[in-house]
Amino acid sequence: MKQAHILVTNDDGIYAEGIQRLCQALLESKGGYRLSVIAPERERSAIGHAITMHKPLRVAEVDFLNNPALKGRSVNGTPSDCVKLAVEAILDQKPDLVISGINRGSNLGTDVLYSGTVSAALEGLLLGIPSIAVSLTGNGNSSSFDYAARLISTIVPRLLESSIEASTLVNINVPVDIKEIKGARVTKLGNRRYRNAFEKRTDPRGMHYYWLAGELIEDDPEDDDCDTKAVRDGYISVTPIHFQLTDRNAMPALEKLIKEMEL
């Protein structure tokens, strides 16, 4: 069997604990993977699917896991930039899998649209590569990161062998309280809404400014197989995500509207 090539990235930056523990676990597993680690030079959270068009991207080699055989590279861009640049310009061989994480903090429900972690995996998908996004649901300590890292290194060989399409992103959220984990569930994306999303303050010069803040209201649909509910109930949540965004159901009503306008 050919050696699988995994591109690892994240949105907490290449020096974050999550990406280091993940790579350590992948190296220690029996997979014998070739790892390429290309990640932002600093934290780039809530960056969504941003790409950098107006400034040049630079790549620096970085010591990674004190392993001279493992070349780490940092990029002065977003998580999506890292994956695009890795696949299109840096790597000699297209990866078989992209893993983005392990993020410190959950990426659940509608919030995945803001997530740098998920966007990096999405960039892999757009380039035709199966992709995984992994998050811990809170500020993990080293044992929760290790738990999630070992979980991923168990899932990876199965995913590589499976019939899961390269059009599906697998979004995994691991409850940070690992002692209470009850198992894993395949879930749908739930809804996340926030109350009082901004806090208005006044600076020392009397000028107003706003902080994004807000109290989370988890607003699950009635069926209980949502990612938000799964992690709340102590389960690892595994959600398949696609990017077929055309709303085919709305096409007839729009056709009617356009026709009436005689455009």
Within positions 103 to 122, which residues make up the interface with a second copy, using CB under 8 A? 110, 112-114, 119, 122
Token code pair at residue 84: 């695009």
Position among 63, 180, 217, 254 found at the interface with a second copy (CB under 8 A) = 254
Contact 21, 102 (CB under 8 A): yes
69 is an interface residue for a second copy by CB under 8 A? no
Pick from 201, 216, 217, 224 the residue near a second copy by CB under 8 A: 201
Under the binding rule (CB under 8 A), the answer on residue 49 touching a second copy is: yes
Is residue 205 part of the contact set for a second copy (CB under 8 A)? no
Asked whether 75 and 52 are in contact (CB, 8 A), the reply is no
Q: Which of 28, 67, 143, 258 binds a second copy (CB under 8 A)?
A: 258
Q: Which is nearer to a second copy, 66 or 161 (CB)?
A: 161
180 binds a second copy (CB under 8 A): no
Asked if 21 touches a second copy (CB under 8 A), the answer is no
The enclosing H or E element of 7 equals strand 5-9
The piece of 4-12, 28-36, 134-142, 251-259 that touches a second copy (CB under 8 A) is: 251-259
Q: Which of 12, 20, 25 is nearest to 149 (CA)?
A: 25
Q: Is the distance from CB of 144 to CB of 178 less than 8 angstroms?
A: yes
∠ at Cα 147 (32, 154), nearest 5°?
35
Positive or negative CA dihedral for 249, 222, 170, 119?
Answer: positive
Q: Could you give the string, one character per residue 127-166, with x where binding to a second copy holds by CB under 8 A and - elsewhere? A: ------------------------x--xx--xx--xxxx-
51 near a second copy, rule: CB under 8 A: yes
As given in the structure block, the two tokens for residue 75 are 């990029």
What are the backbone angles phi and psi of residue 102, rounded to the nearest 5°? -85, 120
Shortest distance in whole angstroms from residue 128 CB to a second copy: 9
* 212 scored as a contact of a second copy (CB under 8 A): yes
